[in-house]
């Protein structure tokens, strides 16, 4: 089919939808081709902007009769989604949370579905969180018993289009995704970014889906950022893929948020590597000076009916599993075992969150292979980690636990952002005050010269009037360069006293501004720059010292952060800070 026939095909369907009589079809299609409009998106853009190739455009240019232009205009204003009947049937019903999200965010697209083959649940959404339209693809974590049992023992497979071997079970779910549909939605809504996301198993699928999309020509042609954010996800790629991500400088495009006390990702990484340990067999036992019977006993416990599968499916601790891990860790070459079975490697940026005990929360960032020390089997076998296989810690794998931990970190981040913004405003105010001092000094100098000149002329008997009472304008401008030079010199020099000018200080401008900004930020009552001849101010009345309004969802986390800060301040003998936030229902929006 030629390009003209292809363009006529989609436009013919559009003419039929607008109920344009058949004898107008050929002329309208020829007019469309003469204008060079080759796609439905280009036609919508031309109709919306009233321009095409910098020339005025209207539906009359398509040789449409006036009556049918209205119907065509309605279709172009509200274009139908390019979704097939099968894709529409895959959508589920809205839950209460979904309805609340739709009401609050008003997404352009919101479709949730389940793959009939792998049972993977996912959601497609188009929203504009910061004024930029963005396509989100979210993948659910563990929902059914088959989610983990079908993936725990799968060996790596070659992921077509991702650059190497990846986890077979996760790749099977990724390969079933509707990537052509995603591409059509991104084009249809003019999205400026694509973000994949998911929790646990869904996080691994999210990373592999993002990898696949970034390598496909049709997505490259979109020329938009494509990234993935995973929560508590297990490792899913072998070393070749991980190294490739670093080589292509994609590390910052993959973000992993992990609860530092969550043992499940480590258990998954160990379980997914057990097949490698089994294949090592007697060769491994000889290399690490351990008997095959001893290793076999441990493997039978970890892979048996009450092994890791049961722990991961029920999210409950298992005494036999904990005992087997301890026995494995007590082997003289435990780290060697962990290294042998470490077949999956991390890639991207990792953010480890740890719930606070007495002090503030911890948030650490890591990149690439260095994460393996934290998430790999060796960490699970480390003696300091044995006691973490408990009911409470396993529950921390739940997505609500990650959400609560992120909420816990929000007040401290908001507080720090507020301090930075307040300091920026304080520096601007201090700089303005300093400039006003220099401007005042300049006018005082010029005014003094004018007064001295007038008095001298009066003593000489010169009659004063408007023409000669003030300094000539050229003298006023002549005085400016020395003042501007001294103003810049004051910034460049270190503080010094000018003995010949009555001990006047020159230099140290940056220090004076910083000290004044600190007084402003602390809300002190003082003279400008501590000089008794300058104005007296009460900086406590400034807006930066007023508490900010936060949404009610952050109230509990705010009080926890506040209590931790007060304890730290009391321990160091510091003055307790005032409340810096308040909560009202209207803040939720």
Residues 6 or more apart from 244 whose CB is under 8 A from it? Answer: 163, 164
In this prediction, residue 1 has a pLDDT band, given cuts at 50, 70 and 90, of very low
Asked if pLDDT for residue 337 goes beyond 50, the answer is yes
State pLDDT tens for residues 345-386. 888 888 877 665 544 445 555 555 566 566 555 555 553 344
Average pLDDT, the chain: 75
Query: How many Cβ atoms from other residues are within 10 Å of residue 193's Cβ?
Result: 17
Poorest-pLDDT segment among 30-39, 520-529, 536-545: 30-39
Asked if pLDDT for residue 131 goes beyond 60, the answer is yes
Distance CA 569, CA 563 (A): 10
**Of 191 and 375, more confident:** 191
**Residue 566 contacts residue 550 (beta carbons within 8 Å):** no
How far is residue 36 CA from its own chain's centroid?
40
Residue 528's pLDDT is 92
Asked if pLDDT for residue 292 goes beyond 60, the answer is no
Q: Which of 363, 350, 343, 388 is nearest to 203 (CA)?
A: 350
Q: Which of 200, 226, 215, 245 is nearest to 368 (CA)?
A: 245
Residue 439's pLDDT is 92
Residue 384's pLDDT is 38
Residue 589's pLDDT is 43
Residue 152's pLDDT is 52
Give me 510's structure tokens: 């940056």
State pLDDT tens for residues 419-448. 889 999 999 999 999 999 999 988 888 888
Write the DSSP symbol of residue 53. T
Distance CA 440, CA 556 (A): 50
The CATH 3.40.50.1820 portion of the chain extends over 85-231
Write the DSSP symbol of residue 544. G
Residue 514's pLDDT is 93
Question: Looking at the chain, how many residues does it have?
Answer: 589
State pLDDT tens for residues 27-79. 888 888 888 887 777 787 788 778 777 777 888 888 888 888 888 888 777 76
State pLDDT tens for residues 484-507. 898 888 888 888 877 655 557 788
Residue 588's pLDDT is 47
Distance CA 127, CA 111 (A): 12
Residue 254's pLDDT is 92
In percent, how much of the chain has pLDDT > 70?
Answer: 65
Mean pLDDT for 185-206 is 88
Q: CA angle, 129 as apex, 126 and 134 as ends, to 5°?
A: 35
In this prediction, residue 585 has a pLDDT band, given cuts at 50, 70 and 90, of low
Residue 586's pLDDT is 52
Mean pLDDT for 187-213 is 89
Residue 293's pLDDT is 57
Helical packing angle, 3-17 and 40-49, nearest 10°: 60
**Residue 552 contacts residue 407 (beta carbons within 8 Å):** no
Residue 282's pLDDT is 46
Q: Are strands 226-231 and 254-259 parallel, antiparallel or unpaired?
A: parallel
Asked if pLDDT for residue 84 goes beyond 70, the answer is no
Site of tokens 């060769």: 283
Residue 7's pLDDT is 45
Asked if pLDDT for residue 515 goes beyond 90, the answer is yes
Write the DSSP symbol of residue 61. G
Helical packing angle, 179-189 and 201-215, nearest 10°: 70
Q: CA angle, 217 as apex, 211 and 222 as ends, to 5°?
A: 90
Put residue 133 in one of left, alpha, beta given phi > 0 → left and psi -120 to 50 → alpha: beta
**Residue 204 contacts residue 234 (beta carbons within 8 Å):** yes
State pLDDT tens for residues 207-236. 999 999 998 888 888 889 999 999 888 888
Which CATH number among 3.40.50.1820, 3.40.50.800, 2.20.25.10, 2.40.50.140 corresponds to the domain 85-231?
Answer: 3.40.50.1820
Asked if pLDDT for residue 517 goes beyond 90, the answer is yes
State pLDDT tens for residues 386-416. 455 555 555 556 666 666 666 767 787 888 8
**Residue 336 contacts residue 295 (beta carbons within 8 Å):** no
In this prediction, residue 582 has a pLDDT band, given cuts at 50, 70 and 90, of confident
**Phi (first) and psi of residue 390, to 5 degrees:** -120, 170
Residue 428's pLDDT is 94
**Residue 316 contacts residue 391 (beta carbons within 8 Å):** yes
**Of 126 and 359, more confident:** 126
Distance CA 102, CA 123 (A): 13
Asked if pLDDT for residue 509 goes beyond 80, the answer is yes
Distance CA 91, CA 84 (A): 12
């Amino acid at each position: 089919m030629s390009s003209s026939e292809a363009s006529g095909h989609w436009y013919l369907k559009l003419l039929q939808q607008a109920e344009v009589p058949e004898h107008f079809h050929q002329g309208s299609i020829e007019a469309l081709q003469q204008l060079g409009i080759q796609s439905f998106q280009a036609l919508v853009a031309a109709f919306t902007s009233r321009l095409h190739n910098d020339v005025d455009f209207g539906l009359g240019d398509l040789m449409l009769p006036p009556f049918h232009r209205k119907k065509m205009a309605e279709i172009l204003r509200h274009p139908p989604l390019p979704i097939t009947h099968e894709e529409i049937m895959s959508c589920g019903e809205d839950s209460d949370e979904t309805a609340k999200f739709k009401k609050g965010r008003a997404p352009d697209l919101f479709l949730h579905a389940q793959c009939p083959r792998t049972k993977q649940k996912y959601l497609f959404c188009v929203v504009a969180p910061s004024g930029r339209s963005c396509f989100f693809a979210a993948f659910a974590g563990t929902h059914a018993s088959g989610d983990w049992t079908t993936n725990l023992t799968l060996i790596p497979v070659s992921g077509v289009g991702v650059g190497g071997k990846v986890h077979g079970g996760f790749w099977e779910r990724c390969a079933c995704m509707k990537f052509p549909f995603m591409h059509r939605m991104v084009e249809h809504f003019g999205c400026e970014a694509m973000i994949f996301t998911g929790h646990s198993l869904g996080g691994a699928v999210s990373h592999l889906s993002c990898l696949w999309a970034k390598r496909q020509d049709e997505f490259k042609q979109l020329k938009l950022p494509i990234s993935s954010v995973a929560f508590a996800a297990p490792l899913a790629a072998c070393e070749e893929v991980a190294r490739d991500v670093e080589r292509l400088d994609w590390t910052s495009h993959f973000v992993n948020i992990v609860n530092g006390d969550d043992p499940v990702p480590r258990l998954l990484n160990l379980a997914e590597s057990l097949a490698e340990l089994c294949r090592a067999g007697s060769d491994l036992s000889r290399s690490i000076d351990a008997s095959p019977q001893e290793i076999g006993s441990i493997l039978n416990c970890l892979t048996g009916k009450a092994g890791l599968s049961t722990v991961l499916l029920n999210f409950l601790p298992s005494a036999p599993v904990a005992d087997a891990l301890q026995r494995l860790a007590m082997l003289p070459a435990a780290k060697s075992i962990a290294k042998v079975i470490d077949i999956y490697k991390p890639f991207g940026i990792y953010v480890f969150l740890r719930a606070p005990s007495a002090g503030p929360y911890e948030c650490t960032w890591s990149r690439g292979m260095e994460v393996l020390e934290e998430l790999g089997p060796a960490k699970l076998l480390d003696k300091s980690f044995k006691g973490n296989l408990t009911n409470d810690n396993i529950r921390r794998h739940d997505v609500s636990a990650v959400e609560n931990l992120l909420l816990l970190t929000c007040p401290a981040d908001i507080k720090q952002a507020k301090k930075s913004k307040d300091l920026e405003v304080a520096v601007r105010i201090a700089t303005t005050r300093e400039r006003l001092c220099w401007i005042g000094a300049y006018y005082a100098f010029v005014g003094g010269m004018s007064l001295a000149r007038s008095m001298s002329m009066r003593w000489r008997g010169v009659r004063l009037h408007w023409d000669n009472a003030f300094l000539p304008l050229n003298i006023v401008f002549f005085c400016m360069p020395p003042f501007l030079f001294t103003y810049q010199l004051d910034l460049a020099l270190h503080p010094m006293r000018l003995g010949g000018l009555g001990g006047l200080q020159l230099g140290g401008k940056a220090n004076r501004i910083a000290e004044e900004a600190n007084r402003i930020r602390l809300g002190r009552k003082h003279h400008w720059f501590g000089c008794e001849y300058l104005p007296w101010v009460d900086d406590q009345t400034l807006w930066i010292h007023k508490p900010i309004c936060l949404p009610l969802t952050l109230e509990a986390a705010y009080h926890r952060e506040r209590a931790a800060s007060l304890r730290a301040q009391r321990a160091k003998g510091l003055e307790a800070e005032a409340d810096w936030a308040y909560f009202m229902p209207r803040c939720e929006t």
